[in-house]
Structure 1
Amino acid sequence: MSPTPSPSSSAARAPAAPALQAGSVDGAALASAQNALRFGNFTIGCGVMVVGGSLNDLVRSLQVSVAVGGQLISAGAVFMCIGAPLLAALLSGRDRRRLLQWTLAWYAAGHLLCALAPDYATLLPLRALTMLGAAVFTPQAAAAIGWMARPERRGRAITSIFLGWSLASVLGMPLHSYIGEAFGWRWAFGLVALLAALGAVWVGRALPDGVKPPALSLARWAEALTHPVLMAIVLVTAVAGAGQFTLFSYIAPYYRQVIGAGALETSVLFMVFGAWGLAGNLLLSRRVDRLGPARAVRLFLCGIALGQLVWPLGTSVPLLLLVMAPWAFGTFAINSAQQARLGAAAPALAPALLALNTSAIYLGQAIGAASGGAIVGTLGFDPLHQVSVGWTLLALALSVWAERRLRRDPDHV
């Protein structure tokens, strides 16, 4: 008697599952998918932050300057920025379970190779190519969970999986900092590789087959790209990200060189920053459908600008723990709110808009890291917060303009 085939082997021989209808996934299956995608975003966030968290040891080990080491953030962000919309168009017809599973496998292999890189010249292209995994996972996870959820729960479903990013800030960033100082930056990269491998297995088990949001035609992509209000909302994400990463990219060296924080204190500062960010995202996920994502974005931008403005007052670790609160509270919630905002503004264009918004997140990181590196390399740390505030206020002005345009003509989108 032949052995009974396992579910995995049977699935491998079975024909492709039919596409699921939007909002047709039951509550238990949706919750399971949310947990897996939340962990996936946690892993993606850990990978994005690993350079910043372990930058002190990385620049010492590879014998490069802080400004040069920070360009690893810029290079990865550029690839994520360009890759998000291009790969979204190229891979739009794929089953999301397999796509997201293989994306995390790529992320795992890339971080393992980065951990083994012998020098900076080898690490730079490996880092850039690895971050293509982040370019795919974040928007496609949002599109997938948005497709599975019922319309009245779509905003909360999308924002809930972005809690993974907040958790990465609470746990990943301080852990990277501690591991980098105690064992070396290579072990921090290795941890991300392990998390990504676990995430690939989890996503493969938790997501149903047949999650295939409809592919967008070139005409629909052109509609999204040429819509002034929708593109203004996407630009808000990029400009706000530039404001945050002008300072945040170099925050570990800032803690050490300006505040005099040791390894444990730096880890605590990262953890508290992330805890505030998690609190903001938790509040948003519960209130976004009631408050409205556009209003949430406006409130969070005001808080971020306030935190950046008073940043120089944090002249010691205890003072920094207070000063960072308004900024940290909105640091990840704003991206979640922007995703929900775009998904609500034009549901039919959501796959394109979420990919473009993810691209904007990483464009902002690239601009911020590059401009911050130029400032640190020539003027030191002092002007960073001023430039950050300027970027954030510009994002706020753009956001208010787009909000007013949509309020005057909601049917035009």
Structure 2
Amino acid sequence: MTDSSTSSRTTSAPTSAAPSAGPALRALLFGNFVIGAGVMVVPGTLNDISASLDVSIPQTGLLITVGGVLIGLGAPLAAGLVAGWDRRRLLALSLLWYGVFMAASACAPSYGWLLVLRALAMMPPGIFTPQAAASVGLLVPPSQRGRAITTIFLGWSLASVLGMPLSAWIGGVMGWRWAFGLVALLALVGAAWVWRVLPDGMRPPAISRQGWAQTLRSPALMGVVAVTLFYSFSQMTLFAYFAPYHQQMMGMGAAALALLLLWFGVFGLAGNLLLSRHIDRLGPARAVTMTLVGIALTLALWPLSRAFGAPSFWLHALIALPWALCGFACNSAQQARLVQLAPALASATIALNSSAIYAGQALGAALGASLIAQGLLAHLHLYGLGLVLIGLGVSLWAGRRASTVPGAAR
């Protein structure tokens, strides 16, 4: 996009489709891929980190919890602090920070150092993901926002297709440090790409104190954010410990685990692509309901993989299919739902939603670690099922309150 296509201080969405928005959306998609790969590199290499640094699985899971807490607290705070920043510079610098501290994490000499460096590395996800989504409104007209937002969130699905399985394989064959190093390299590439293709002067309108008050006082908007907290909490209770679960309960080695994660990721990408194509017709709220039901179905059927004697890899993969199709798609639908409900409050709601994602991940990792310490590794799915059903109930309630959102799109 050339400078002539945007003003030096863009504050509103274009009125027609910008033909040059494609390169910017692809750069943001890649940035989300890198962010997702970095977030999920710990679950993928959990076993190797534990063995390499001589710490327990629950203690290693603290790497997920600490990062999630920092991002959860930092995302809404960052939304206020960076309100006036040019988004090209902000997004590029956040990926640069990510690359530097992921590289430093790869060189950590001990678990204590890794914990500190990992926490610092996890600051950019609280900035990049919500601010990339909020910037979409400056690149495409309102009628295309839903699809554009779900498109850039395909990066997270791609991270599950390539990032997490690859990190699991690299961790099993070469060691976790190489997996962290690969993410660092990709982050630097992403920073250069964003810097090159995003236009100057992208400054979404800052959310006023009144805007934050409207967001926080809206039962419907905060209900939608709570849905994100519950489904993220639900998934990460089990997903954070995929590596030890499948090693101990299913007898899988590194290659089988990488294959399962690849299966999970391929269908996660497929689910997000399907959602991106049909979300404007279905409506974001209905799409969220469908994805939550899919996650719940897998968690309810999860024990069947070991119910008929020796664990079956392909039966397990089949049972995981609804979760794979719906897990990442649910996140994209939630982002689109918030933008549709209150476009003028998108910067605040998406920041809060991102905060809820990582807070849920932190809670899930902490709950999973606690359950494993109590010898309840085999029962993680039950807790996840209960949490996602709570999220489904909250989602249906929030849908009935949608008309009460201040300035909601009708």
TM-score range, shorter chain: over 0.9
Paired residues for 1:44-59 under 5 Å = 44-59=35-50
Paired residues for 1:97-108 under 5 Å = 97-108=88-99
Per the TM alignment, residue 380 of structure 1 is displaced from its structure 2 partner at its CA by: 3.0
- Distance in structure 2 (CA, Å) of the matches to 1:271 and 1:309: 22
Counterpart position of 2:64: 73
Counterpart position of 1:392: 388
**Aligned: 1:309 with 2:300:** yes
What runs of 5+ residues in structure 1 fail to find an aligned partner? 1-10
Preserved CA contact (<8 Å) 2:291 2:330: yes
- Tell me the amino acid that sits aligned with residue 314 of structure 2: P
Q: Which of 328, 349, 353 is 2:349 aligned to?
A: 353
Counterpart position of 1:176: 167
**1:115-136 deviation digits (Å, cap 9, x = unpaired):** 0101111111111111111010
Quickly say closer, same or farther: Cα 1:312–1:199, change in 2 above 3 A: same
- Distance in structure 2 (CA, Å) of the matches to 1:363 and 1:351: 18
Counterpart position of 1:296: 287
Counterpart position of 1:6: none
Per the TM alignment, residue 253 of structure 1 is displaced from its structure 2 partner at its CA by: 0.9
Per the TM alignment, residue 168 of structure 1 is displaced from its structure 2 partner at its CA by: 0.2
Quickly say closer, same or farther: Cα 1:406–1:21, change in 2 above 3 A: closer
**Aligned: 1:122 with 2:113:** yes
Preserved CA contact (<8 Å) 1:42 1:168: yes
Per the TM alignment, residue 328 of structure 1 is displaced from its structure 2 partner at its CA by: 1.1
Match of 1:28, SS state, is coil
- Distance in structure 2 (CA, Å) of the matches to 1:193 and 1:26: 34
Q: With structure 1 as the length reference, what TM-score do the two structures score?
A: 0.94
Per the TM alignment, residue 20 of structure 1 is displaced from its structure 2 partner at its CA by: 5.7
- Tell me the amino acid that sits aligned with residue 342 of structure 1: L
Instruction: Using the TM superposition, name which of 263-272 and 311-320 deviates more.
Output: 311-320
Preserved CA contact (<8 Å) 1:25 1:148: no
Q: Which of 377, 382, 392 is 1:381 aligned to?
A: 377
Counterpart position of 1:265: 256
- Distance in structure 2 (CA, Å) of the matches to 1:301 and 1:23: 33
Instruction: Using the TM superposition, name which of 372-381 and 48-57 deviates more.
Output: 372-381
Preserved CA contact (<8 Å) 1:148 1:211: no
What runs of 5+ residues in structure 2 fail to find an aligned partner? 306-310
Preserved CA contact (<8 Å) 1:20 1:210: no
Paired residues for 1:278-297 under 5 Å = 278-297=269-288
Instruction: Give the aligned CA root-mean-square deviation in angstroms.
Output: 1.4
Identity over aligned pairs, percent: 53
**1:269-319 deviation digits (Å, cap 9, x = unpaired):** 000001111111001101111100000000110010010111111232111
How many corresponding residue pairs? 398
Paired residues for 1:132-171 under 5 Å = 132-171=123-162
**Aligned: 1:323 with 2:319:** yes
Per the TM alignment, residue 335 of structure 1 is displaced from its structure 2 partner at its CA by: 0.6
Per the TM alignment, residue 149 of structure 1 is displaced from its structure 2 partner at its CA by: 1.0
Preserved CA contact (<8 Å) 2:158 2:265: yes
Q: Which of 201, 210, 220 is 2:211 aligned to?
A: 220
- Distance in structure 2 (CA, Å) of the matches to 1:248 and 1:147: 35
- Distance in structure 1 (CA, Å) of the matches to 2:399 and 2:72: 24
